[in-house]
Structure 1
Amino acid sequence: MLFTAVLSLLFVGAGLLLLFVLEDSFIDRRLHAVAATVTDPQAPPAALPSQFQVLPMASLPDDIRARLGGDRTGRLVEFRRGNGRYVHVLAARTAAGQPYALVYDVTDELTVNQGLARGLAYVALLLAVLTLCAYLLSRAFVGRMVQRAQALFRQVLDSPDPEALEALAQQEPVREFGDLARLHARVWRAQLAAVERERETLAFLGHELRTPLQSARTSLSLLAADPGHAAALSRLQRAIERLTRASNAVLWLASESPATADGSTHAAACMQALVEELAPMAAARGQAFALTIDPELRWARPQEIVETVLANLLLNAIQHGGPGTIAIAADADGLVLRNPRAAAEATGFGLGMRIVGRLAARIGWQVAFSRHADGASFTVRWDAASVHA
């Protein structure tokens, strides 16, 4: 509406300017036509049309002389005199070369000025009508666009696959909406492809882990005959069993199984086993575990999933933390793991933490990471449904 109002005012201003120019041109044309009939400036003015006056240059009034600024032939000025009359003055010469000034009193012939007030009223009315029409048209247009956008939004939500969305984009009468639907279909297809690649990668990873695990089991069965390696054999056996459970957890993550699964994991036993298994690795880096956990705490989640999440958190603390104590505390509300600050950041792809985030989300847990002055910490939160009463 503002655009319509401004545009209308510009047209009104241009129209008024054109009227004033036309009025001036008509007056000046008549002035020149009358000047062509003057033969003697000293003759009586009886032959002149009304409102015209011929004045010799020698007897010009001061205000007219000041405006003309001399007797240059053809000079034309217009101004309002001291008595309030508006005049056009033309400096001319007769055929005999006598200079004179032809004065045309146009006060009563300025029709544009006289009709300006009434014309502005009509213009204001017209502007109001145009503004109202513009408002109604824009409201109708925007309403139709909103309805079409809402209909397209519902159709996009109801589309079963990117191909159906592509077909919808082809049929869309509004080109911009069609381009938007086509872009959404392209993004949807790319997202499906990424999910499929992730599923294939996880399935491949879980499958390929089974081959070295089988070989390791065979080697363990041969080592079991020598009792001199009992301690190392026991630790290696636990590591292989944990790796087997991690492989199963990765396969479960790549599957279409429900987000939460039935199961029961004794928290203290699970954490204690992981701490004992990873203690030698931590000791090699000058680290030690401090475990504080409710002995009655049990998680209503499968052990292989929970163990994979916690093992990756502990390994991350060992690999990315500095020498000192890795503190672990768990109760019915959640778990907090703190590791000391390292002198330099360890490198890696971050795959372990991504698996942790995905697995935790699938079983209804929330994992948060934070840094502080003396190190870093992971906080794991779970709801009441994740804990056995």
Structure 2
Amino acid sequence: MTGPVARFRALPLRSRLALLTATAVAVAVAAVSVACWLLTRAQLRDELDNSLYSLSASASADYQRLLALTCRPSGGPGQANTAPGTAYVQLVRPDGSRCVGPGSPPVVVERSDAEVAARLRTESLHDGVTTGGQPVRVLTRTDDETRYTVSISRPLTEVDGALNQLALVLTVLAGIGVVGAGAAGLWVARTGLKPVDRLTGAVEHVARTEDLTVRIPVEGEDEIARLSRSFNAMTAALASSRDRQAQLIADAGHELRTPLTSLRTNIELLARSEETGRAIPPEDRRALLASVKAQMTELAALIGDLQELSRPDAAGSGGRLEVVALHDLLDTALRRARLRGPELTITAEDVRPWYVRAEAASLERALVNVLDNAVKFSPPRGTIEVALVDGELTVRDHGPGISPEELPHVFERFWRSPSARSLPGSGLGLSIVARTVTRAGGEVRLIPVGPKEGCGTRAVIRLPGAPTPPPATTPQK
């Protein structure tokens, strides 16, 4: 069984469909043909039996007496009349002997016929055979008036001939039907699988050329159309992902070039001083080392941001989602922000408890990025106001603010406003904030406080949650 099944599965899909269609039609045609043949056979035999009963009922007493006088113990081949529609007649005795009527071949007397003659049965209807081997249908009955047991039979060749012709016709029609069904199935399979062929060709083209601009025409609303739409959406998503990846690599290379060039220059100066023996003045040496340290810190921060952005966008793919206290994470981020801006005043007078489901490390990093952005743009000895009320976190600084032209770009990767290009940073902080907040089901906005420069900016982060932790806080993937 394994061999034929394996060979069947190895066939192309259209061949399998055509073969299954032909097989189904063959089974159906065979079932109908057999049923038709059996019904026709039963009908013809019923008609033959009815004719025997009619002949038996029409055999009068005088005819039976005449038959008794003219019959012979056995007939001969020359006496037999085998024309279609002919009935054979013979008398049967209780001892099983027979007396054959004129023009009739002798029919073998069965036990049931002798029992009818012996008054053990009222009648006997069965298939029999003549002494010459001709099959016949036999009806044996005893006449109540004459007491003769008359056996009337008719040849079955009439029925069998019609049945053989019917079987031949049905076989020919079944063969034509099966061949036609196979051809129709192959045509239907080819026609129905044309969209699949197009989809297969498109997939093979993408696999061979990595061309993600291929799109399949979509027609209708059936399963093939849904599959084509899904393929088009998949290739579009892959193309967009590849474009973003290429853009990220290009932007990262551009951002890494500046600190690496500066590092290389400073290190070459220090190495040349060691090689030539020319000492660098202590103040210049300290400045070079401080610059190297700052550039290394900037590189480490940039690499960390790139690693954060390289993680999959799907929720839960980067780490474990768990119920975390947003106010506790905010308290940790505030302590780090105060260390980075010791000359600034950071107030957090209205911080209320709020619990959210998120990735704790990523969310803390996002809060630190928001506060770092406020620290970076705040003027010396400025003030930063922080509040957390009903799941809405606001961070307001008094820096230069954001112009309406720059506002749509603030969450783009590596985008930096002209006023911030001289400041440290990679332009990835707010992009990470937007990504993390969106993954947690929230939203983030930057709102200019006023039209005048120096009015500052308000960062607003809203996260879904509750003021009290839920009963079950088991982390889940």
| Fold equivalence (TM over 0.5) | no
Larger Rg: 2
Task: Return the TM-score normalized by structure 2.
Answer: 0.35
